[in-house]
Chain A
Amino acid sequence: MSTAMPPGPSVERSGGAPVRRSFRSLLYKLTFADKILLSTIAILLLLAICGALTFQVFLRSRLRSELAEGTGYLAMVAAGRAAELFASADEEGLRRLAAEVAGLNAGIGYLVIRDRQGRVVAHSFSWDPPSQLDDMPVNPLPAGAPVVSQVSFDGVSYLDVVLTIVVDGKGAGFLELGVPLHRANQLAWELTLLFMGLLSALSLMGVIVARGLVKYVSRPIRELTHLADQVSLGNLDVDFDMGISVRCWELKNCRQSGCAAYNNTAVQCWFVDGTPCEGYEPRFPQKLVGCRTCEVYRAHKGDEIVQLADSFRHMTHSLRASHQELQRAYQFQKSLIWNSLGGIIATDESDAVQVFNAAAQNLTGYSEEDVVGRMKWEQLFVHSPSSGHQLQVLENGSKAMFGFYRKEAMLHRKGGGEVEVLATGNTLMDGDRIVGKVFFVNDLREVKKLRLELVRTERLAAVGQTVSSISHSIKNILDGLRGGAYVYKRGLRKGDGSITSEGWEMVERNIDRISSLVADLLNFAKEREPDLAPEDPNRIVTDVVELLAAKARASGVLVDVDLDDSVVPWLLDEHGIHQCLTNLITNAIDAFESRDSGHVLVTTRVMGTDTLCITVRDDGPGIPRELMSQVFSGMVSTKGSRGTGLGLLVVHKVVAEHGGQISVEETPGGGATFVIMLPGNRPR
């Protein structure tokens, strides 16, 4: 049965761990030089201890064998004397021999002579031999071969040598000689201490040498560490010399000044791309393998630290080159942004402006100091529902993206006022992260001025083009007038009132035509801003249709209107739009001249929120396809000599002045449909 024990403190089991940790931490904190020095001292100390112990063991062993040999010799001499005394059974002689041998030298401890049975016959002790000596070797002993052992009594160790006393070839007894070992041991210790002292002196010298060596070895490491610190602080202009540098062009006496390694003292040739080394790849990572067999590499190659220093130098060199490249690219892009003809405004993720280039400054009058880091982009743009720069949030997956393309917007000018621009906005991304916004703004003032200039030029060109058709028209009117006068006079001559009336009608008709032509010409040539005021488009349409009702009836044409009740008052030049509709509806009525009946439909519609659409549709003969694209150019009339082409030109001009567009298309089933689109019902 086992009992679960509560987990007790594991101090005992893990007691070594904190010690180990602190030891490791201590080791970790030591410098490279200290580690080497400490290691050297530890090794030398270990060597000294081991050497001393080994020396002592060896010395004791040698001394002991020397002692055993000397004692054996003395025992043999004594045994020869004892054999003679045994032969003569001279016990007294044996006792004298024992005392004599024991008194020979202070180095002899004792002598014991025993008979064959092991009984002590004589001895050198002042009292009975100690019991430790009773343990006799087993009979029979080999003759002449001493038995050496160690015996201790009374606190002293002895080397004990036992020899058989041979009389007439037979063992007559034993001689046991003991010499104390303490003197030999003392000698061994003395010698060992001497040896240790010697070793310690040598170790000290070793430590001193190691210290110098370590200092020498760790110097480049310290230098590299210092340089690495400098590089990490951004100082890439560091350089150092490891002492010996072999340069390829010097070693090989090379004069290829076009080689990238030639005269390059910054890095070794194997780090340089595109050197013309035979058999080696031109690029660094591939060719380094081959370079290791090159004589330049081998001549230069130092220890690992030198190699590390070379690599570090190359790394710094590459880093410097990359840094310079990055700087160049940055300066280039900065210059691009700065010198862009269009304004560039960029923000960070908090919408604060960070880039505000020269063009943007010119546009707004704000300086970089006024804006960068101080204003948000929304403060630069004019906020108005009609300014057209409202945010557009485009759904892109789960991320809401900001952006708009080529919208007309207004920028605030410093000190008041606004400037009209064409703006494009976008979100700046770094991977999946939104890092800001960018706006490209172009001055619209010049464009608008040029556009007006173009309209004027086009109109002048159109005037030139229509001169011939106008002169033709004038000639026709003149002929009409002359004809009228001629017919009138003819009537008078003949006394025929009906002919006279006919002539007079002709004159009147052509006077009307002159009025209309002059009106068109004036309208077209007049250089004026449209007089915009909120007007009801439906009312203008109704007025024009009513004015032309008589003409339509005379031509057998029915003019209908289809008006959108939701049309609100629109900013229009009433006179201009009136003229436009008059021209378009007159054209439509005239198109039915050779027919008995016709139908014209005028409609108004509001498209979306900011476009007014007025269409004039007829089911007449229509406009030949080849003329469709030219009807607004001023040269085109389908009315033959009655048409000047001015009417549509006037329509086009008025619509353009409103910022609108006019187009013509074929009415399904025959006829022509003119569509006028007028933009934004907004204050201009």
Chain B
Amino acid sequence: MEKNRTAVVIDDELDVCRYIESILQDHGFDTRTALEARTGEDLILHSPPDLICIDIMMPGRSGVQLLSRLKKNDTTRDIPLIMITGIKEKMNIDWTEIARGLKVRRPDAVVEKPIDPVRLMRAVESSMCGRPGAE
């Protein structure tokens, strides 16, 4: 039997976590969740998943800080990473610029809230395309 792909979802909103988790589970992911960046980072480092979903706006360490740490870490650098954002979708956040400023690679995909399951899964597939473990 083919081993399920794994994903870590980090969002301070329990309900949003649960939502994303359900969508991913429906698409064959084993999921783990964390309500804050620090716990999530521990989960990832403890057992690197195949996919990481991070909310940008969180209390304590923010999603962007976590992005920076994960993309600088050799173990986690290549894991597909999706940023979930609820802020100002019309502001066209330039992730390339942010990544250049942080001196890291940009996130593999960005999904805006409200979360649409189809759009989310399209982003998941596109970011995992050609990666080890991809379908």
Contacts and interface: CB of A to CB of B under 8 A. Distances in A.
A510 B22 CA distance: 17
Interface in B71-103: 86-88
Nearest to A505: B15
B14 to A, nearest CB: 8
A486 B19 contact: yes
A509 B86 contact: no
Nearest to A510: B15
A483 B113 contact: no
B15 A483 contact: yes
A640 interface: yes
B57 A483 contact: no
Contacts of A510: 15
A219 interface: no
B59 A640 contact: yes
A480 B19 contact: yes
A647 interface: no
Interface in A468-491: 468, 471-472, 475-476, 478-480, 482-484, 486-487, 490
B121 interface: no
Given A468-B88, A594-B35, A641-B86, A476 B13 contact: yes
Contacts of A185: none
B29 to A, nearest CB: 14
B18 interface: yes
Contacts of B23: 486
Given A480-B15, A509-B15, A510-B15, A486 B114 contact: no
Contacts of A218: none
A483 B36 contact: no
B108 interface: no
Nearest to B36: A594
Contacts of A486: 19, 22-23, 117
Q: Looking at chain A, what size class is its interface with the partner chain?
A: 20 to 34
B2 interface: no
Interface in B1-47: 11-13, 15-16, 18-20, 22-23, 26, 35-36
Contact of A640 (B18, B57, B88, B114): B57
A641 B87 CA distance: 10
A641 B12 contact: yes
Contacts of A502: 18
A22 B35 CA distance: 121
Interface string A63-82: 00000000000000000000
Contacts of B104: none
B55 A490 contact: no
A486 B121 CA distance: 14
Given A480-B16, A642-B13, A490 B26 contact: yes
B93 to A, nearest CB: 13
Nearest to B15: A480
B18 A476 contact: no
Contact of B87 (A472, A482, A639, A643): A472
Contacts of B57: 472, 640-641
A479 B12 contact: no
A502 B35 CA distance: 18
B38 to A, nearest CB: 10
Interface in A409-446: none
A490 B12 CA distance: 23
A490 B19 CA distance: 11
A620 to B, nearest CB: 12
B113 A506 contact: no
A386 interface: no
A12 to B, nearest CB: 121
* Contact residues of B: prevailing secondary structure: loop
Contacts of B66: none
B80 to A, nearest CB: 21
B115 interface: yes
Task: Give the residue among A471, A479, A594, A638 with the most B Cβ atoms within 10 A.
Answer: A479
B58 interface: yes
Task: Give the residue among B22, B35, B117 with the most A Cβ atoms within 10 A.
Answer: B22
Contact of A483 (B18, B55, B58): B18
Contacts of B117: 486
A479 B55 CA distance: 12
Contacts of A641: 11-13, 16, 55, 57-58, 86
Given A478-B114, A479-B115, A490-B26, A484 B15 contact: yes
Contact of B19 (A471, A487, A639): A487
Given A486-B23, A487-B22, A638-B59, A479 B87 contact: no
A399 B15 CA distance: 74
Nearest to B25: A490
Nearest to B91: A468
Interface in A627-666: 638-643
Nearest to A481: B15
Contacts of B11: 641
Nearest to B57: A641
B113 A478 contact: yes
Nearest to A494: B26
Contacts of B114: 475, 478-479, 482
B19 A482 contact: yes
A639 B55 CA distance: 13
Contacts of B35: 594
Task: Give the residue among B18, B20, B35, B55 with the most A Cβ atoms within 10 A.
Answer: B18
A476 B26 contact: no
A480 B113 contact: no
Contacts of B26: 490
A479 B59 contact: no
Nearest to A487: B22
Nearest to A490: B22
B73 to A, nearest CB: 23
Interface string A212-248: 0000000000000000000000000000000000000
A479 B36 contact: no
B116 to A, nearest CB: 8
Interface in A336-354: none
B54 to A, nearest CB: 12
A641 B55 CA distance: 9
A642 B18 CA distance: 15
A476 B20 CA distance: 12
B123 to A, nearest CB: 15
A641 B15 CA distance: 12
Interface in A506-541: 506, 509-510
A381 to B, nearest CB: 54
A486 B24 CA distance: 12
Contacts of A475: 86, 113-114
A498 to B, nearest CB: 13
8 contacts: A478-B113, A479-B114, A483-B15, A483-B22, A486-B23, A638-B59, A639-B12, A641-B11
Interface of A: 468, 471-472, 475-476, 478-480, 482-484, 486-487, 490, 502, 506, 509-510, 594, 638-643
Closest 5 CB pairs of A and B: A483-B19, A480-B15, A640-B59, A640-B12, A475-B113
